Copies of this chain bind each other. A is one copy, B any other.
Amino acid sequence: MIGGRLHGTDWIGHTHRDELLFAQDSGDFKPATFNVLDAQYPRVDSNSRVQIRFKALDATKVRMNFWSGPKADMEKQADGFWTFITLPIALHYYTVIVDGAEVSDPGSTAYFGGSKWASAVEVPEAGVTYYLAQDVPHGQVREICYHSNVTGTWRHAMVYTPPAYDTQPKQRYPVLYLQHGGGEDESGWTRQGNANLILDNLIASSKAKPMIIVMANGYARRAGQLAPDLTGKPFGSPEMRKAIEDMMSAFEDDMTQALIPFIDSTFRTIPDRDDRAMAGLSDGRHADLHVTFDHLELFSYIGGFSGAANVFAAGNDKLDAKTAFNGAMADPDAFAKRVHLLWVGVGTDEPERMKQGIERLHAALDQGNIGHVFYESPGTNYEWQTWRRDLNDFAPRLFRHL
């Protein structure tokens, strides 16, 4: 087995124990790749069944809470453990609800998703290795901090440098700014998404140009701005909309006024718009499309992974490419010359409202004669398997303008 994780005992390992378990079990359940150290649960079998086992000796009710799946009761066993077997696909965030307390599973590595440190279980796609650690040269993932005059704070970001970055000190690289989704943070693209491994593999096979990837924290608040009190304000309320708009606006300024200058002065980048891309995932943040369309002087490659439609269609079902984003796409020929790539993607198993949003966007771009790539990830939902595939399709198309 080739494994691939950033955190844990071994990157690639457990081969022999896996084989042993395979032989011992009536099924072929194996500890999931995201487990802590030698934790035996959660387990996954080759039929994509997940078996979860959770200790709650005195609880009267324990429920599974999958982000992208069912809330379902676990069954109490005679030994005080509770178990659950299901058939989800892909990478699933989950929590466990123990007598009304929503908590994480101590057997799983913790990942920041849904605005909390949740558990996760990965049901791998059989035979697929593009996002796993392989025997190829590996880049580095760097934690950096930069001071932002916009927020008045030191801010944290992650930077992927390609394998040869340190050994070829004269070489300069294009940069992809790659944003997490709502409720995640700057650690998501490497911890959950394996973006570094995807690029390692693409670069090793010459499918993508070597590039730097910058993963910023999408939450920003202007210096002196108080945290809004959203107590009792429902999702989608005017107060919450205002809070999101404020945060997006602060993030846009932080990225363009603080982060990009810092990256260009700290790393060996090619600091021009032809060599700068931005993409992001989820309908939670939208930041990538806002930032890029507002700043076409900075970016020439644009990607929207799932949920990008909400940006265009917020408040209305129809989108007119001619007038959207202050008319950035009013002249299709000029836009095509200026923007080397506009890429939007969606998983075919995403919820209807998300799929429809992207399909409306796709249609509107066609109607407006705006050249773009429309990518559908077959059989995946609104989760990291879709976004990994998105990156795997998107990255090879970058920085090909010459």
Contact = CB atoms under 8 A, between A and B. Distances in A.
Interface string A160-171: 000000100100
A12 interface: yes
B100 A106 contact: no
A126 interface: no
Interface stretch (A151-159, A274-282, A351-359): A151-159
A101 interface: yes
A56 B99 contact: yes
A291 B38 CA distance: 24
Q: How large is the interface on A (under 10, 10 to 19, 20 to 34, 35 or more residues)?
A: 35 or more
A13 B153 contact: yes
A57 B225 CA distance: 34
A99 B153 contact: no
Interface in A212-264: 217, 219, 221, 224-227
A224 B16 contact: yes
B133 A104 contact: no
Given A117-B106, A147-B135, A55 B224 contact: no
A109 interface: yes
Contact of A99 (B36, B60, B159): B60
- Which of A55, A61, A101, A190 gathers the greatest number of chain B CB atoms within 10 Å? A101
Contacts of A6: 143, 156
Interface string A34-78: 001110000000000000001111111110000000000000000
B117 A56 contact: no
A401 interface: no
A26 interface: no
A37 B37 CA distance: 27
Interface string A1-20: 00001111111111111001
B103 A96 contact: yes
A58 B58 contact: no
Interface in A114-173: 115-117, 133, 135, 138, 140-145, 147, 151-156, 159, 166, 169
Given A141-B143, A144-B138, A61 B61 contact: no
Nearest to A146: B138
A89 B11 CA distance: 36
A20 B106 contact: no
B99 A59 contact: yes
A80 B99 CA distance: 11
Contact of A154 (B11, B152, B227): B11
21 contacts: A7-B156, A8-B185, A9-B217, A10-B155, A13-B153, A13-B221, A14-B227, A16-B224, A16-B225, A17-B226, A36-B117, A55-B102, A59-B98, A96-B101, A104-B110, A106-B116, A106-B117, A133-B154, A140-B142, A140-B144, A143-B143
